[in-house]
């Protein structure tokens, strides 16, 4: 075997496993070089990017896409995809704001939104399981339908008038917003579910080889429904934090968020074909995406150019995964 092939075989699994971390380190080094100079004595390396205010801003922005990406990881691990995440976030954002503005109890509102998100995810999983339609088709239909429901629900109007009922999610604790602590907790729970439970092992089995899992006695339909239900729960949590951050709601909220969630999972090492990946890698992938977004803003790069770079990043991440299977 040629030396180059030996080298690739040795290093590619390691690069794939930690590709999100490698990308994050490269991005942070690039940001240090390219970001504007800061006169703030507390700024690390006198870089605008490494000021305390900007680091807090990154943590505050990380919660919503990070939690969405964790939910997307469960779906991708079973060989699925969810294109409806942004639409469902927008609908739940409107429901949360409407109920709170109309005097609803904060704990009851949160509980019902979490229930609705989980139920919607489970319904999508059930449709995929029992109709045998591709997840792409079902969630694409869900993306369009759920967004339409959001516009009908709000009568195409924005919702304002929240009176700080859930503003505490943005309050700092030990220097980190509570929303950030919720992200850390969600990441830890997701990692434990995938690595320490029967359900987690079944998720990997279904994604690795659905037919083999079925013949081995794995309840494939229930696992698929469970993965989509967890995804719906994560979307609901993200919607509540999104509402707290913006103190308002609009039916167009969340557009494009499904792209960031999928990108974070893939950059974090989750294979789009299913069966390989983990939540900790997704967390790093989400951190990479948020750090990239903040860097592009500080560097005055157009939003549309940034979207183009995200597409390139997805292609590169998937290429590395495919290369590893061929070598």
Report how far residue 52's alpha carbon sits from residue 38's, in angstroms, rounded to the nearest whole number: 12
**59 domain residue, yes or no:** yes
Q: Is residue 36 part of a domain?
A: no
Helix (H, G, I), strand (E, B) or coil at 244: helix
- Structure confidence by residue, pLDDT tens digits, 137-156: 999 999 999 999 999 999 88
pLDDT of 11 over the 70 cut = no
Q: What is the pLDDT of residue 118?
A: 97
Rounded CA separation 92/122 (Å) = 15
Q: Residue 153 domain-assigned?
A: yes
Phi, psi of 83 (to 5 degrees): -95, 0
The pTM of the full predicted model, rounded to 2 decimals, is: 0.88
**Count of domains observed in the chain:** 1
Q: What is the pLDDT of residues 240-261, one digit of tens each?
A: 999 998 888 899 998 889 988 9
For residue 1, tell me if it sits in a domain.
no
**In this structure, what CATH number is given to the domain that contains residue 55?**
1.10.3470
Interval 19-38 mean pLDDT = 75
Rounded Cα distance between 292 and 308, Å, is: 12
The answer to whether residues 94 and 250 touch, using CB atoms and an 8 Å cutoff, is yes
Answer yes or no: is pLDDT of 1 > 50. Answer: no
Q: What is the mean pLDDT of the chain?
A: 86
Q: Which two tokens stand for residue 249?
A: 């709601």
> Does 118 reside within a domain?
yes
Identify whether 37 is part of a domain: no
Q: How far is CA 258 from CA 68, 101, 116, 185, 206, in A?
A: 8, 27, 18, 21, 22
Contacts of 123 (CB under 8 A, 6+ apart): none
CB 93 within 8 A of CB 254: yes
Residues of the domain holding 215? 16-30+42-326
> 322: which 2 tokens?
């495919």
pLDDT at 219 (0 to 100): 94
In a domain, 35, yes or no: no
Least confident segment among 182-191, 203-212, 263-272: 263-272
319 pLDDT above the threshold of 80: no
Per-residue pLDDT averaged across 67-95, rounded? 95
Residue 294 lies in a domain: yes
């Amino acid at each position: 075997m040629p030396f180059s092939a030996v080298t690739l075989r040795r290093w590619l699994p390691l690069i794939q496993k930690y590709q999100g971390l490698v990308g994050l380190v490269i991005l942070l080094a690039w940001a240090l070089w390219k970001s504007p100079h800061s006169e703030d004595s507390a700024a690390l390396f006198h870089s605008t990017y490494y000021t305390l205010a900007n680091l807090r801003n990154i943590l505050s922005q990380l919660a919503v896409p990070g939690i969405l990406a964790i939910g997307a990881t469960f779906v991708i691990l079973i060989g699925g995809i969810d294109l409806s995440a942004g639409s469902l976030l927008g609908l739940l954002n409107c429901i949360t704001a409407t109920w709170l503005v109309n005097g609803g109890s904060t704990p009851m509102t949160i509980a019902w939104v979490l229930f609705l998100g989980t139920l919607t995810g489970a319904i999508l999983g059930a449709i995929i399981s029992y109709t045998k339609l591709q997840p792409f088709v079902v969630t694409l239909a869900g993306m369009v339908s759920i967004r339409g429901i959001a516009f009908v629900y709000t009568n195409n109007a924005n919702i304002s008038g929240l009176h700080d009922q859930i503003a505490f999610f943005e309050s700092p604790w030990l220097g980190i917003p509570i929303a950030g602590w919720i992200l850390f907790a969600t990441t830890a729970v997701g990692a434990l579910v995938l690595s320490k439970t029967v359900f987690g092992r079944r998720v990997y089995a279904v994604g690795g080889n659905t037919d083999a899992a079925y013949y081995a006695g794995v309840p494939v339909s229930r696992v698929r429904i469970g993965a989509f239900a967890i995804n719906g729960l994560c979307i609901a949590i993200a919607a509540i934090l999104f509402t707290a951050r913006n103190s308002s709601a609009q039916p167009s909220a969340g557009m494009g968020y499904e792209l960031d969630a999928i990108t974070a999972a893939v950059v974090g090492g989750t294979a789009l074909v299913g069966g390989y990946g983990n939540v900790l890698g997704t967390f790093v992938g989400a951190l990479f995406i948020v750090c990239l977004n903040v860097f592009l803003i500080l560097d005055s790069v157009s939003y549309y150019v940034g979207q183009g770079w995200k597409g390139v990043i997805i292609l590169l991440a998937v290429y590395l995964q495919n290369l590893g299977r061929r070598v």
